Structure 1
Amino acid sequence: MNLHEQQLQMASYVRDPLHNPPPADIEARRLRIYRELFYNSIEGLLAAGFPVMRATLGELPWHARVRDFYATYRSQTPLFTEVGGAFIDYLHNADLDAPWQLELAHYEWIEAQLFRADDAAFTEPDTADLLEGEPRLSCLARVLAYRWPVDQIGPGYQPSAPPAAPTLLLVYRDQHLQVRFARLTPMAYQLLAGLSGSGRQRLQALGDEQVQAQGLALLKDLHSQQLIIAVDYCAGALA
């Protein structure tokens, strides 16, 4: 057996010792150290990125899920910061532990991405008026829609069926480096994610003057928090 074959055998065993034989020339104690070292590194990264999922699933289901990911998924990135994204990709094709698991994972991954985002996002200037220009969402904010109430799921609440209305959220990182979320009304979601055009055009598409006034108040509030900026019309879209 050449060196490459030895490395493959070792890697296969460390990934999935239940279905792959150990190398014959390494003592069991050392192999156990390697197995635990590599697994604990991946499990620790995922536990830090998906704490709500870990607590909600419980110890045994959580570790079974991580071990299956570790054994079967072939990541295309060497970056530790991208392991969470690889885990979500894996969940898309996995037999889920709960029907809300994928959406909860995505929500927690967004939180992690915002926490690591570049502070320079707060320095991006306006280039147009809020009404005449086109509102653009800061890279420190996301407008999200889920079937499941991902902001409420936890060890004490695990719904078996999605609610009638979707969960609409604005998730953002404030200037104190805290990731926060706010529930959005359908009107607010439509204004921020469902319409195109200038601020004025979006407000006019919402409805009557009362609804437009509520929308304008929301735009001004988010603008004051630097969660949206106004750019020259057609220079960029809210995304």
Structure 2
Amino acid sequence: MSSVADKTAGFQGLQRAFAKHLRAPEDVEAPKDIEDRRVAIYRDLIYNNIESFIAGGFPILRSLYSDERWYDMVRDFIQHHTAKSPYFLQISEEFLTYLQQERAQREGDPAFLLELAHYEWVELALDVSTEEIPTGLDRQGDLLTSVPVVSPLVWSLSYRFPVHRIGPAYQPQEPPESPTFLLVYRDLGDDVSFMEINAVTARLLQLASAGEATGEQLLAQISDELPQVDSEALYGFGLELLQKLLDKGVIAGLRSLA
């Protein structure tokens, strides 16, 4: 029995040594009893697969880094991050966690790094989300007397930087005075779309997310919060906005007030 245990322990030790090398091939030598030609296959496979998926999930971020600096970032992620999920589709979330919690701001990193990474991650997160739109909703009812039901496939986000405009030709060094509000949603055709909104629309969706107020009650509360705005004009604008959100699938449908 001890011979079997010794062999098992030896194999597990070899696995750990091999994994350490694959994580940091430039710092940790490969086990000496494995042919380097074979090890190189795994080195390339591990890095190339992970790098390709991250670059595909964060294309704008990738475009802002030179090959050398991008390589260093991905290699640092592979070496130091301990993934919580074994699923390949969640590598992007693991990379975002690494950026947010483990990688300190480094020289050359843009000030908007974390916000841009989050913005790019959201698209994939919504694309693979298993959330389902509630059934039995009416899409032709009265927006004012019915309760607008916000789709679970909608994220209302705010950023300090205008992340939806950032790219190689536009890289702001400082955030503007006003935050950027974005609506990211998966529509009824399962396509992920983005919409720039304002603070009032963001507040309306926040109130509607509770799923307890009719369209008229929502607009009344917004009107109370904005006494400087003409209530009649606000109601007109608000009704048009609710209809637009319904048409786009941000509002999944309407239900009667219980």
TM-score in same-fold range (> 0.5): yes
- Distance in 1 of aligned mates of 2:124 and 2:97: 16
User: Helix, strand or coil: the match of 1:169?
Assistant: strand
1:64 is matched by which residue type in structure 2? D
1:218 matched to 2:226? The reply is: no
Quote the residue 1:191 is aligned against.
204
TM-superposed deviation, 1:142 = 1.7
Fraction of identical pairs, as percent: 36
1:102 matched to 2:114? The reply is: yes
- Distance in 2 of aligned mates of 1:144 and 1:213: 25
| CA-to-aligned-CA distance 1:105-162 (integer Å, 9 cap, x gap) | 11111111233346964x7332685334443321332211111111001111111111
1:49 matched to 2:57? The reply is: yes
TM-superposed deviation, 1:58 = 3.0
Alignment of structure 1 residues 58-77 onto 2, 5 Å: 58-77=66-85
- Distance in 1 of aligned mates of 2:255 and 2:52: 41
Structure 1 residue runs without a partner (length 5+): 235-239
Alignment of structure 1 residues 130-145 onto 2, 5 Å: 130-145=143-158
1:125 is matched by which residue type in structure 2? G
1:80 is matched by which residue type in structure 2? F
1:223 is matched by which residue type in structure 2? L
Quote the residue 2:127 is aligned against.
115
- Distance in 2 of aligned mates of 1:101 and 1:231: 41
1:126 matched to 2:137? The reply is: yes
- Distance in 1 of aligned mates of 2:256 and 2:61: 41
- Distance in 2 of aligned mates of 1:79 and 1:194: 35
Structure 2 residue runs without a partner (length 5+): 1-8, 224-230
Quote the residue 1:33 is aligned against.
41
Q: Determine if contact 1:57/1:155 at 8 Å carries over to the other structure.
A: no
TM-superposed deviation, 1:172 = 2.1
Q: Determine if contact 2:131/2:152 at 8 Å carries over to the other structure.
A: no
| CA-to-aligned-CA distance 1:42-66 (integer Å, 9 cap, x gap) | 1111111111111122322222111
- Distance in 1 of aligned mates of 2:58 and 2:143: 37
Quote the RMSD (CA, aligned, Å).
2.3
TM-superposed deviation, 1:165 = 0.6
Q: Which has the larger radius of gyration?
A: 2
1:206 matched to 2:222? The reply is: yes
How many residues are paired up? 233
